[in-house]
Amino acid sequence: MNMTLRALLGATALLALTGVAMAETEITVATVNNGDMVRMQGLMDDFYAKHPDIKVNWVTLEENVLRQNVTTDIATGGGQYDVLTIGTYEVPIWGKQGWLASLDDLPADYDVNDLLPAIRGGLTVDGKLMASPFYGESSMVMYRKDLMEAAGLTMPDAPTWADIEKAAAAMTNRDAEINGICLRGKAGWGENMAFLTAMSNSFGARWFDETWKPQFDQPEWKATLDFYLNLMTQYGPAGASNNGFNENLTLFQQGKCGMWIDATVAASFVTGKDSTVADKVGFALAPDNGLGKRGNWLWAWSLAIPASSTKQDAAKTFINWATNKDYLALVASKEGWANVPPGTRTSLYSNEEYAKVPFAKMTIDSINAADPNAPTVKPVPYVGVQFVAIPEFQGLGTSVGEIFSAALAGQQTSDEALAAAQTVVTDEMTAAGYIK
């Protein structure tokens, strides 16, 4: 072999090695289509500038489709996704199953102690952080200041359900197509049951007692459902049993709701450019009944790594970038503080600039008012404020949601609905082995 040939072969080998060293790691991120996630995709140049060796492929899907695809992938160990966008409901269940990789070894600049305790608690399984919160939310009262003023009422910062009923009655004006209150009625564990479960906590109700016996036959649930049905029948919009988040948002933005109790993330929409009442909206904590618990929920969309991913280092690099304090500063510098993903970090709420955002204080107060480990007045065997973190809950929640939605539509009484709910849940929990 002559020298020239050796030199050529050597150069080829070196080039090949260089190619390996410079090779991109491609990761696939499964996510939902919401404003904060879309914004992040628009800021990826910053990530690529810092990590040119990682390429991110996005799979954006509707929430339920995403949940189905990701569950299928993760349960079968498919390994198609490297980063998952999952909710507070999935994290404890999937974490316990060993489906998620621990995020305890993220770099020091991630500053895990800066995470809001309530949010961090919901994402920690057996002492390990299983997902990193991208944005957190609770629920609160959004109300029309002008209508309250016209009615001669003032909304307390921390209203009771009696205050809400009184305000709803005063603001309802059927001739002007103004409904005193708009609440979720569409059936689903993440729709009407998210609201009703959170509401029931403030009435002292619970899904199960300490022995997993369903509690829909107890007076607390009767009080919850009666109050809800009465409120919605008298002061709610027509066809409310079909209304979810987006339907109520439409009504509120068009000035057809005096109050709306829903996710804190809605605050930016009702005060945004598409709202006809943007400058007339006030905020208050979700109502209570004087029992020490408010009717607000706690949710976070978080980023997690499936244990089946073969690119966990690159996935952790991405998660550290997307959920780091620096990312919040990046969004603020490009799009303003009002567009920063809320509800994840303590430092954000001590920032003077962020404190000027109108809904900032109420959001953090609402998040702090929810405790997923002690969601209601009496002790419970489960974790979760507006859900019960067991695999069976998706089906149970939707079944009960359909029953309560039918009651709202006038197809059955509250007593019939509660009896049906008790039967359905008892049967399912017995079949699942919770009730011996």
Which residues would be at the binding site for another protein (CB under 8 A)?
A: 28, 30, 32-35, 38, 41, 57-63, 65, 68-69, 72, 76, 78, 80-81, 244-246, 249-250, 253-254, 256, 263, 265-266, 269, 273-276
CA separation for the pair 10, 17 (Å, rounded): 11
As measured in angstroms, the least distance from the Cβ of 62 to another protein is 4
Nearer to another protein, 56 or 164 (CB): 56
As measured in angstroms, the least distance from the Cβ of 174 to another protein is 15
Nearer to another protein, 61 or 329 (CB): 61
As measured in angstroms, the least distance from the Cβ of 276 to another protein is 8
For residue 102, the number of C-alpha atoms closer than 13 Å in the C-beta half-sphere is 9
As measured in angstroms, the least distance from the Cβ of 250 to another protein is 5
Nearer to another protein, 47 or 227 (CB): 47
Angle between helices 414-431 and 219-235 (to 10 degrees): 130
Query: What is the distance, to the nearest Å, from the Cα of residue 246 to the centroid of all Cα atoms in its chain?
Result: 15
Q: Return the residue matching tokens 């057996």.
A: 126
Nearer to another protein, 265 or 286 (CB): 265
As measured in angstroms, the least distance from the Cβ of 285 to another protein is 20
Ramachandran category for residue 312: left, alpha or beta (phi over 0 → left; psi -120 to 50 → alpha): alpha
CA separation for the pair 17, 11 (Å, rounded): 10
Nearer to another protein, 25 or 69 (CB): 69
Helix residue ranges per DSSP H, 136-286 = 145-150, 161-171, 192-202, 219-235, 245-253, 266-270
Q: Count CB atoms within 10 A of the CB of residue 427.
A: 13
Nearer to another protein, 72 or 413 (CB): 72
As measured in angstroms, the least distance from the Cβ of 352 to another protein is 28
**Is-contact 328 348, C-beta < 8 A?**
yes
